[in-house]
Structure 1
C-alpha cells in the first residue's frame, strides 16, 4: 500500500511547516493596526434603580 510510505509525504509536510514558520509570522507581526489604542478614563453614567410602582 503506497499511501503508508511516509518518505515523500513527510518531506512535503516538513517543508510546508518550515515555510509556514519562516515566511508567515514576520508578515503577521509586521501588521500594524490603524487604530491607536489610547488609555482613557472611562466615565460610567450614574444609573438609578427603577421604582416598580405596579409591583
Structure 2
C-alpha cells in the first residue's frame, strides 16, 4: 500500500513546519495592529425581547 510509505510525505510535512516556524511565524508575531480598539465607557440600555408565543 503506497500511502503507508512515509518517504515523500514526511519530508513535505517537515519542510512545511520548518517554513512556518522559521519564516512565517516571526512575521506574524511582529505584526502590530494599526487600528487599536479603545474602551467604550458608554452603557447601552437593553430591553428584553417579548416573545409573542410565551
Q: TM exceeds 0.5? A: yes
CA distance in 1, matches of 2:18, 2:5: 21
CA distance in 2, matches of 1:32, 1:11: 33
Q: Report deviation, 1:24.
A: 1.1
* 1:30 equivalent in structure 2: 30
CA distance in 1, matches of 2:30, 2:3: 39
Moved over 3 A (4+): 35-38
Q: Larger C-alpha radius of gyration, 1 or 2?
A: 1
> CA RMSD, aligned part only?
2.2
Structure 1 residue 11 corresponds to structure 2 residue 46: no
Q: Report deviation, 1:37.
A: 7.5
* 1:53 equivalent in structure 2: none
How many matched pairs?
Answer: 45
